[in-house]
């Protein structure tokens, strides 16, 4: 059963995606380099030593601009930028090694961008090898990277496989030629098939496709054709995202504004795609994510061990994620920090041998309670609301939760909240009623993308 048009109109409001709590615009920004280093060391001593740490490495360069994209990127065809950037990333890692005080165990590495496969295979091999020589790997480590099907070569896949990578995510977005032209993301099906086949030949155990609904010129017919091609390749995981239209932040999005589907049409695209995925044997993991039944994400969902961070849903047990590279965000559970976004400024800071922080947040006890509550709702679809949090929720937000219940989207009994299947479509809206930071500061919601 899909949301009614009236509920779509009611809940299609700007709300956070809750990849963190508090969300980045609401951080206190009371962190300086010294306090961040102390926070990292405390987190490492408390749980990072045992659980291991994860690394997110942001590689921001792209040869061409995809006009839908909201990522931090630099458009260039000059590959001489690779070496100085990698040198800066390795200096940052060396600095963190000094903060940790001993050789860490790495449970996960994810290369994101930008376009990580902008970098030559030998450049990626050099960077990852240097990092791995200074750390151990946990028993069940998980290494993954994002690749553009047009430039992810056999050599890229091979070099990374030799380093332990066995998961790759390809940004497909849509297979329709007219949609691809509108968003400047031209990639023929044959190239996607070749990149997928090559990964499997080299032993990659998981291929993920990123797909987006709500793009210009998308219709139910074009989406059906896209999913027919997806079915042919049958990746282990699918991320089926809502297109986030924020032209004030990303002006290139204005180029196709008039061709975007209306909100009810957009929701119909999602419901259609979801039905197709379930028909193909995928299970819904949570917000935007699907996987085949035997995938570790499905197992984690069923066993209640699913986790979510800035990289999406994950099975990794580590609560400690260090972000390396320009604009990267670190999450050590008790604190967040983000690096300088400007590439030249980031590289200059690292020449001075200190981390290029621009903002951060140390979580209070209340923050931690709300964080766990929101994570439970997004990963498990249910949560027990701490009484101290319930006491601080304003009457209008409690009324909003009551309306969700009256609309059949959730059940709330004695501080136990369970979201119904239809309610997961508006899980971001539900979570926003527990977002005490946003409620207390009356932050303008326009900084966030719309929920539907």
Are 11 and 267 in contact by the 8 Å Cβ rule? The answer is no
Residue-by-residue pLDDT tens, the chain, 452 positions: 578 889 988 998 889 989 899 999 999 998 899 999 999 999 999 999 999 999 999 999 999 999 998 889 999 999 999 999 999 999 999 999 999 999 999 999 999 999 999 999 999 999 999 999 999 999 999 999 999 999 999 999 999 999 999 999 999 999 999 999 999 999 999 999 999 999 999 999 999 999 999 999 999 999 999 999 999 999 999 999 999 888 888 899 999 999 999 988 998 999 999 999 999 999 999 888 999 999 999 999 988 888 888 878 888 778 999 999 999 999 999 999 999 999 999 999 999 878 899 999 999 999 999 999 999 999 999 999 999 999 999 999 999 999 999 999 999 999 999 999 999 989 999 999 999 999 988 655 546 877 77
Tokens of 127: 């960077």
User: E strands, 287-415, where?
Assistant: 289-292, 307-309, 312-314, 321-324, 329-331, 335-339, 357-362, 382-384, 410-413
- Distance CA(225)–CA(221), nearest Å, equals 6
Cβ-count burial of 73 within 10 angstroms (0-12 exposed, 13-18 middle, 19+ buried)?
buried
Tokens of 295: 């995938």
Are 315 and 297 in contact by the 8 Å Cβ rule? The answer is yes
Q: Where are the alpha helices (DSSP H) in 150-245?
A: 154-162, 177-183, 189-201, 220-233
The CATH superfamily label for domain 19-362 reads tm_1862 like domain (3.80.30.20)
Res 445: pLDDT: 54
Are 85 and 124 in contact by the 8 Å Cβ rule? The answer is no
Tokens of 387: 């009484």
Res 179: pLDDT: 96
CATH 3.80.30.20 segments of the chain: 19-362
CATH 1.10.10.920 segments of the chain: 365-447
DSSP string, 267-316: HHHHHHHHHHHHHTTEEEEETTEEEETTSHHHHHHHHT--EEETTEEE--
User: Up-side HSE of residue 75: CA atoms within 13 Å toward CB?
Assistant: 8
- Distance CA(182)–CA(98), nearest Å, equals 47
Specify the 3-state DSSP secondary structure of 361. strand
Are 208 and 237 in contact by the 8 Å Cβ rule? The answer is yes
Are 377 and 427 in contact by the 8 Å Cβ rule? The answer is yes
Q: What is the DSSP letter of 399?
A: H
- Distance CA(220)–CA(273), nearest Å, equals 9
Cβ-count burial of 248 within 10 angstroms (0-12 exposed, 13-18 middle, 19+ buried)?
exposed
pTM for the full model? 0.94
Residue with tokens 């501080």: 415
Instruction: Specify which residues 111 forms β-bridges with.
Output: 57, 145
Q: Where are the alpha helices (DSSP H) in 352-394?
A: 365-380, 387-392
Residue with tokens 């990149």: 195
Res 313: pLDDT: 86
Residue with tokens 């940790």: 100
Res 248: pLDDT: 84
Check whether domain 365-447 has CATH 1.10.10.920, yes or no: yes
């Amino acid at each position: 059963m899909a949301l009614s048009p009236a509920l779509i109109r009611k809940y299609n409001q700007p709300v956070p995606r809750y990849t963190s709590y508090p969300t980045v615009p609401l951080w206190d920004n009371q962190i300086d380099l010294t306090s961040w280093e102390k926070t990292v060391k405390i987190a490492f001593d408390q749980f990072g030593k045992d659980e291991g740490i994860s690394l997110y490495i942001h590689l921001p360069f792209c040869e061409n601009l995809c006009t839908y994209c909201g990522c931090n990127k630099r458009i260039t065809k000059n590959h001489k930028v690779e070496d100085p950037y990698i040198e800066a990333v390795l200096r940052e890692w060396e600095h963190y090694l000094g903060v940790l005080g001993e050789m860490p165990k790495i449970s996960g590495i994810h290369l994101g961008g930008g376009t990580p496969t902008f970098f030559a295979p030998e450049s990626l091999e050099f960077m990852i090898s240097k990092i791995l020589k200074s750390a151990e790997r946990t028993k069940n480590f998980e290494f993954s990277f994002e690749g553009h099907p047009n430039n992810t070569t056999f050599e890229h896949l091979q070099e990374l496989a030799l380093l332990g990578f066995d998961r790759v995510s390809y940004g497909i977005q849509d297979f329709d030629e007219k949609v691809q032209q509108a968003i400047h993301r031209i990639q023929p099906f044959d190239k996607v098939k070749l990149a997928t086949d090559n990964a499997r030949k080299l032993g990659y155990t998981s291929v993920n496709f990123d797909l987006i609904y709500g793009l210009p010129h998308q219709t139910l017919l074009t989406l059906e054709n896209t999913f027919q091609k997806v079915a042919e390749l049958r990746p282990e995981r699918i991320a089926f995202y809502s297109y986030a239209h924020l032209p004030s932040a990303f002006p290139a999005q204005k180029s196709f504004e008039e061709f975007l589907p209306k909100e009810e049409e957009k929701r119909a695209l999602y419901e259609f795609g979801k039905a197709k995925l379930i028909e193909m044997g995928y299970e819904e993991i949570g917000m935007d994510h699907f996987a085949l039944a035997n995938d570790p994400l499905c197992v984690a969902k069923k066993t209640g061990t699913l986790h979510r961070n800035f990289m999406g849903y994950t099975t990794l047990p580590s609560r400690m994620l260090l972000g390396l590279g320009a604009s990267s965000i670190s999450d050590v559970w008790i604190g967040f920090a983000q690096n300088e976004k400007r590439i030249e400024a980031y590289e200059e800071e690292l020449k001075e041998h200190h981390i290029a922080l621009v903002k951060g947040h140390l979580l209070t006890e209340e923050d931690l309670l709300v964080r766990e509550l929101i994570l439970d709702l997004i990963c498990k679809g249910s949560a027990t609301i701490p009484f101290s949090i319930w006491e601080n929720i304003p009457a209008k937000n409690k009324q909003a939760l009551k309306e969700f219940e009256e609309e059949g989207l959730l059940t709330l009994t004695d501080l136990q909240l369970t979201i119904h299947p239809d309610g997961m479509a508006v899980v971001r809206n539900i979570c926003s009623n527990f977002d005490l930071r946003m409620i207390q500061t009356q932050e303008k919601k326009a900084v966030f993308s719309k929920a539907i």
